[in-house]
Amino acid sequence: MKIPDNHLRISIIEKIVAGQLDSALDLLSVAYEVSAPKFRVGTVKGHRSVAACYIEREKMIVFSNRDILCNPSVVLHEFYHHCISQTTLKGGGTDKNADRYVRRFLYGGEESPVS
């Protein structure tokens, strides 16, 4: 997946950190031409030990607690799963590719200095 330009990328990261998740997901959705995912705080049976989980059939990201809503790594990781499931219609992609996307997004298209 392509990474948005630096201005938009930084704006999205700032919105996530500031707790403006609705706005950040709207910007991401427009950038990738997909519908915005829904989200809630709670747990998912079988995935209770993870920070967040994407439920494809509901198009929803479930965060384990409110603090995670402000974590760009987790939000972007789960958005990757949403975006892939919406564009390929073949599931949400792998966690390895989601993590690679997060590193590229956070570091402006470059891999992180410590991979």
CA atoms within 13 A on the CB side of 107: 12
Task: Give the DSSP per-residue string, 72-93.
Answer: HHHHHHHHHHHHHHHHHSS---
Structural domain boundaries in the chain: 6-36+67-106
d(CA 92, CA 15): 24
Q: How far apart are CA 15 and CA 53, in angstroms?
A: 20
Going by C-beta distance under 8 Å and a sequence separation of 6 or more, which residues neighbour residue 105? 3, 9, 13, 76
**pLDDT confidence of residue 110:** 60
Q: First CA to last CA across the chain, in angstroms?
A: 19
Q: Give the pLDDT score at 23.
A: 98
Task: Quickly tell me which residue has 């403006």 as its tokens.
Answer: 20
Residue 7 to residue 78: CA distance in whole angstroms: 22
CB 3 within 8 A of CB 109: yes
Note down pLDDT in tens along the chain; length 115 residues.
Answer: 899 999 999 999 999 999 999 999 999 999 999 999 999 999 877 667 789 999 999 999 999 999 999 999 999 999 999 999 998 766 678 899 999 999 999 997 665 554 4
